[in-house]
Structure 1
Amino acid sequence: MLNKSKVIVLSKLKYRDNDLIVKCFTRHRGVVSYLLRGVLNTKKGSSKAAYYQLLSQLEIEENYRQTQSLQYIKDVRLDYNYTTLHTNLFKGSIVMFLSEVLSSVLREEEENQPLYHYLETTLRWLDTKDEFSNFHLLFLLNLTKHLGFYPDISDTNQRYFNLNNGLFESKKQDVYSISGENLTILKQLLGTNFDALDGIKLSSKQRQSFLAMLLLYFELHLGSFRKPKSLKIFNQIFN
């Protein structure tokens, strides 16, 4: 059955000589993988492969069959045309890093329109902004709302935050209780939105330390999560 759907590209993998397997987060069915036959065959003059850049926002016409693990796309067009996300070196590194994170944490094959809207709007925000050095930190922190382990903000005046249970606490409970600069940054980010991010001034060392803490937070709450392979390159670019 032919359906139209909005999708965001999470990953792509070359299959055989001229095919691609593309994993997407779809607006109406969660994570879906598509087999694109012949899309890399330059002899056919196809330019369709250019559509499937990481985190591209597309509108597709799909031939969806519930019994198949790999679906097929009949037609594709851009739902939103990025102007900087794939051409700016720093934004490109964010795209590579976040797409790897999202590909790891998004697994459900079911509708989640609030999450789709979050990805759609934040990526468009990033595309239009000149100041974005802290974007990935707030993006990942807010992503935990949709994954079910956003920090409990009912008592943020406490001296520690426990990564293991997501609670602010008065005493250091274990090795996962954080304090100091990372705690200060966490409280700042919990109280801000993307448009106010440029008011939070962090050094590259502070960003890397906080990002490492965030990724540990993901590991503790998502058993299958592993640190992205692109993390080292990402930190080098943002050093």
Structure 2
Amino acid sequence: MLITTKAIVFSALKYGEADLIVKCFTLQSGLKTYLLRGVLKSKKGKIKASLFQPLTRLEVVASHKDKGTLEYMKEAKLAKAYQSLHTNMLKSSVVMFLAEVLKNAVKEEEANPELYNFLDTSLEWFDTHGPAVNFHLLFLLKLSRYLGFYPDDSQCDAPVFNLVDGTFQEVETNPDCINDENVGLLQRLLGTDFDELSAIKLNQTTRSGFLLMLLKYYEIHLQGFHKPKSLAVLNEIYS
């Protein structure tokens, strides 16, 4: 049975001479992996390889067997084109980084419209606003809510953050507790909206240190998660 659904591209990997293996997070069915045969050489097909840049928003017609195997995509078109995410160097580096994070972090092969809508609206905001050099920090923090380990802010005035429990506390109780400037920045970002990011000024050292803390938080809470390879590119762009 063919279905029509919105989808966000997480990754596209060349397979053989002319095929692509594409991972997309779909509105109707969650994470799906498609084998697109001949798409790299075909000029007349309904599916163009150029559609599968990181985090592109698509509308696809696809057949889902829902058996954990490669799925079939019949048609694909842009749902809404970006203005700047794939043309601005800073933004495109952030997009590449976030796409790799999402590929590693999101494993749900079932519909999660709340997560899909968060991704869609967040990317729309990033596309239509200025450089927003701290966007990825707030994005990762907000994303953790949909992945099940958003920090508990009930005691957010406490000076220590426990990465294992996701709680603020008065004293360190394990090696994965932090008690440095990252705690203050985390407290500041909790409850912050993207529109408020311009008020948060960070130097590169602080931004990089907080990002590493967030990635460690992800590693602790998501089995198999690892630091994205694109982190080095992101740091180079920001330096």
Q: Describe the shift of the 1:67–1:205 C-alpha distance in structure 2 as closer, same or farther (beyond 3 A).
A: closer
Q: Number of residue pairs matched?
A: 239
Which residue identity lines up with residue 103 of structure 1 in the other structure? K
CA distance in 2 between partners of 1:128 and 1:7 (Å): 20
Which residue identity lines up with residue 146 of structure 1 in the other structure? Y
CA distance in 2 between partners of 1:46 and 1:2 (Å): 15
TM-superposition CA deviations, 1:201-235 (whole Å, max 9, x none):
10011000000000000011112111111111111
Deviation above 4 Å: which 4+ runs of structure 1? 42-47
Q: Is the 8 A contact 2:100 2:228 kept in 1?
A: yes
CA distance in 2 between partners of 1:67 and 1:176 (Å): 38
Q: What is the RMSD of the two structures over their aligned residues, measured on CA atoms?
A: 1.4
**Seq. identity, %:** 49
CA distance in 2 between partners of 1:47 and 1:187 (Å): 45
TM-score between the two structures when normalised by the length of structure 1: 0.96
Q: Is the 8 A contact 1:20 1:40 kept in 2?
A: yes
The alignment partner of 2:11 has SS state of strand
Which residue identity lines up with residue 142 of structure 1 in the other structure? K
CA distance in 1 between partners of 2:44 and 2:76 (Å): 17
Q: Which runs of 5+ in 2 are unaligned?
A: none
Q: Is the 8 A contact 1:27 1:112 kept in 2?
A: yes
Q: Which runs of 5+ in 1 are unaligned?
A: none
CA distance in 2 between partners of 1:128 and 1:207 (Å): 22
TM-superposition CA deviations, 1:104-154 (whole Å, max 9, x none):
011111110000000000001000011310000000001110111110010
CA distance in 2 between partners of 1:223 and 1:64 (Å): 26
CA distance in 2 between partners of 1:170 and 1:67 (Å): 47
Which residue identity lines up with residue 95 of structure 1 in the other structure? V
Structure 1 counterpart of 2:11: 11
Residue 37 of structure 1 and its aligned partner are, at CA, apart by: 1.1
Q: List aligned pairs for 1:1-239, cutoff 5 A.
A: 1-41=1-41, 44=44, 48-67=48-67, 69-239=69-239
Residue 181 of structure 1 and its aligned partner are, at CA, apart by: 1.2
TM-score between the two structures when normalised by the length of structure 2: 0.96
Q: Is the 8 A contact 1:39 1:46 kept in 2?
A: no
Which residue identity lines up with residue 82 of structure 1 in the other structure? Y
